Amino acid sequence: MHRALATVNLESIRHNLASLQGRLSPGTSLMAVVKADGYGHGAAEVARAAQEAGAAALGVATAGEAVSLRDAGIEGPLVVLGPLTGAGLEAAVHAGAEVTLWSEQFIRELVRVGRVMKHPIRVHIKVDTGMHRLGLYPRRLPGFLDAIDTEPEIELAGVMSHFATADEAGGVAGGEAGPEDSGQDGDFFHYQLKAFEEAIQPVILRTPGKITYHCANSAATIGFPQAHFDMVRCGIAVYGLSPFQADPFADGLRPALRLTSYVADVKRLTEGDSVGYGRSWIAPRNTHIAVIPIGYGDGFSRGLSSRGRVLIGGRPYPVVGRVSMDIITADLGGDGPAIRHGDEVVLIGRQGEEVILAEELAAALGTINYEITCNLSSRVERRYEG
């Protein structure tokens, strides 16, 4: 019995890779994005499974994440997608990671670090086509290419961009808005796509070599085949979670993570008894409560107080009362006598015929599935199967 256990099915990760790759034309490769400890699933284990299933590259956000993957023995192309400062850049480059580049100042830093390396540093230039965060404006790209052309320490590996709205306008499942009624956001996606196509023309003309052009995240990979280019960068879909906050199964994905706890006690309550902090829930009738040793300290959000559901014995029961740091409580109603100390409790995933999706928890909390799995804390033990 584990008080808080995340079981990650690596067979599902490989299935999701195969499903995503099935959408790509021959010659388009897939980068598996494993930042934030593999969206809470465990970066090294997911990276290994993704590579087994044919991922051509791995993506992370920070130097520390790149170094941890190498320390775990993960080899192969690895790209740091986020910004790096001096020490981080050195660490990333020594870990053999490729880096993302968009500023002149960063060129100088790269040259400095590159001088002591035996091989040139492989870089991906990030173009800002409308996200207005990282990246250089397309009109500056030709001058930027001139600047790195003269530096033998720098080797151009790719040119990339990132979409602001791909998740709102595409997908079989369609998300909130299908392509037919995507309005502004569909327009903005196409505006960004066109800006990227135009931006890379001069690069294609002057650098006919092997440059990888890439801009699609999971949503664009599923929703917009015209945005695939040479490589897609998939995070959320690798884990079997829907980039559209819809049903992942509808897009051929299988959620890989199951979050479980157990029934630590079954408590009899008389009508009018309250449960937990603040007495926020009062039993409307005589009932039984399951006491479950998981809480917001594990990443089961306090916002689910009297809103979430759990599965026990293949049936759903409402979370009642406050979610505390270490404990939640669920109303078992008349089923109380049938439920035993030690019974498995599912908080995310399948049990019998029932399933609780991370998307359901996200909707109840007004957030997205990404945050649900990223928030699982280090107190949750990770197990791998498949």
Ligand X SMILES: *Cc1c(COP(=O)(O)O)cnc(C)c1O
* Residues belonging to the active site: 35, 277
Q: Residue 235's closest CA among 224, 226, 225, 222?
A: 222
* Binding piece for ligand X, criterion CB under 6 A, among 50-58, 62-70, 173-181, 213-221: 213-221
Residue 218 sits in the site that holds ligand X (CB under 6 A): yes
Size of the site for ligand X (CB under 6 A): 13
- Give the strands of the sheet with 287-292, arranged side by side: 265-269, 287-292, 328-331
* 33 near ligand X (CB under 6 A): yes
Nearer of residues 236 and 290 to ligand X, judged by Cβ: 236
Strands 274-275, 281-282: pairing is antiparallel
* Residue 95 touches ligand X, criterion: CB under 6 A: no
| Alpha carbon distance 107, 144 (integer Å) | 9
- Applying CB under 6 A, among 81, 123, 294, 323 the residue interacting with ligand X is 81
We find the least distance from the C-beta atom of residue 56 to ligand X, in angstroms, to be: 14
Residue number, 237 or 312, with CB nearest to ligand X: 237
Contact of 239 with 16, CB cutoff 8 Å: yes
Nearer to ligand X, 188 or 317 (CB): 188
319 near ligand X, rule: CB under 6 A? no
Binding mask 223-252 for ligand X (x = CB under 6 A): ----------xxxxx-----x---------
Minimum Å gap between C-beta 132 and ligand X is: 14
Residues whose CB is less than 8 angstroms from the CB of residue 323 and which lie 6 or more positions away in sequence, other chains included: 295, 296, 300, 301, 302, 303, 304, 305, 308
Minimum Å gap between C-beta 20 and ligand X is: 10
Stretch of 43-51, 144-152, 177-185, 212-220 contacting ligand X, by CB under 6 A: 212-220
Residue from 14, 48, 124, 162 that binds ligand X (CB under 6 A)? 162
Nearest CA to 148 among 171, 185, 122, 174? 122
The reply on whether position 19 binds ligand X by CB under 6 A is: no
Closer CB to ligand X, 171 or 276, in the complex: 171
Closest to ligand X by CB, 223 vs 308, is: 223
Complex with ligand X: residue 158 or 321, whichever CB lies closer: 158
Name residue 339's amino acid: I
Number of neighbouring beta carbons within 10 Å of residue 26:
4
Q: What secondary structure does DSSP assign to 6-22, as a single string?
A: EEEEHHHHHHHHHHHHT
The b-or-e profile of 165-186 (16+ CB within 10 A means b, else e) is: bbbbbbbebbbebbeeebeebb
Report the nearest approach of ligand X to the CB of residue 237 (Å). 6
Residue ranges of the alpha helices (H) in 22-56? 35-39, 43-52
Examine residue 217 and tell whether it contacts ligand X (CB under 6 A).
Answer: yes
Task: Please report how close the Cβ of residue 371 comes to ligand X at its closest, in angstroms.
Answer: 12
Closest residue to bound ligand X by CB: 235
Asked whether 67 and 47 are in contact (CB, 8 A), the reply is no
Q: How far is the CB of 154 from ligand X (least distance, A)?
A: 20
Please answer whether residues 104 and 125 qualify as being in contact, where contact means their C-beta atoms are separated by less than 8 angstroms: no
Of 136, 58, 130, give the one whose Cα is nearest residue 97.
58
Considering the complex, state which of residue 59 and residue 299 has its C-beta at the smaller distance from ligand X. 59
Query: In this complex, which beta carbon is closest to ligand X, that of residue 217 or of residue 260?
Result: 217
Angle at which helices 141-149 and 104-114 cross, to 10°: 20
| Pairing relationship of beta strands 57-60 and 29-33 according to DSSP bridges | parallel
In whole angstroms, give the CA distance from residue 315 to residue 157: 51
Instruction: Establish if 41 lies at the interface with ligand X (CB under 6 A).
Output: no
Cβ partners under 8 Å of residue 53, min gap 6: 13, 14, 17, 18, 21
How near is the Cβ of 100 to ligand X at its closest, in Å? 8
To the nearest whole angstrom, how small is the minimum distance from the Cβ of residue 22 to ligand X? Answer: 16
Residues that bind ligand X (CB under 6 A): 33, 35, 81, 162, 217-219, 233-237, 243
